[in-house]
Each structure stands twice: as C-alpha cells, then as structure tokens.
Amino acid sequence: MFVIVTYDVEVKRINKIRKKLKEYLVWTQNSVFEGEITKGKLDRCLNELTKIMKENIDSLYIYKVENPKHIKKDIYGQEKSFDDMFL
C-alpha cells in the first residue's frame, strides 16, 4: 500500500518522530513522509511513533491507499530532498 504521513508535533519531538519515520518511509517535504509499505511494517512504525508522540498535544495523520496506482502526485516548484532540511 502507499501511504502519506503528515505530522504536527511539538518542536522537542520533531527530530525523534522524523528519525523514526525515516526508517520506514521517504521524507518528501517539511512534516510529510510518503512511500510504499506493508501493513505489518506500518503497524510496527505506528506502534513506535505512538510511544514517542504525546497524543494529547501532537497530531499525526496517515493517508492510506491500498493500490499505489490509485494515487498520483504532481509537484509544483521545487522537489525537496531530505538534505534540503539541513542546508
């Protein structure tokens, strides 16, 4: 399946959340990860993420598309790469 993960978390947890997501998916833009993943891996990823985040403060959305052919991505302007974040 194809997933898009967007998150809005307190600054002090951003690096930990980002580091964990990077183990499973591709960073694509500020607070956005995407990629193909199995259900098993996604469950594991979410299990680990929910241990990091503070559910009463932080926000994390998972958009899931079973068949990757059912989603198309158009890019306007720059396609960001992970390194852009550390320039």
| Interaction between residue 23 and a copy of itself (CB under 8 A) | no
Local structure of 61: helix, strand or coil = strand
- Candidate list 11, 12, 76, 87; residue touching a copy of itself; CB under 8 A: 76
Residues 6+ positions from 48 with CB-CB distance below 8 Å: 20
Local structure of 11: helix, strand or coil = helix
The answer to the question of whether 8 is labelled as a binding residue is: yes
59's tokens: 């926000």
| Interaction between residue 13 and a copy of itself (CB under 8 A) | no
Name the site residues for a copy of itself (rule: CB under 8 A): 4, 6-9, 28-32, 46, 49-50, 53-67, 70-80
The binding site for Mg(2+) consists of 8
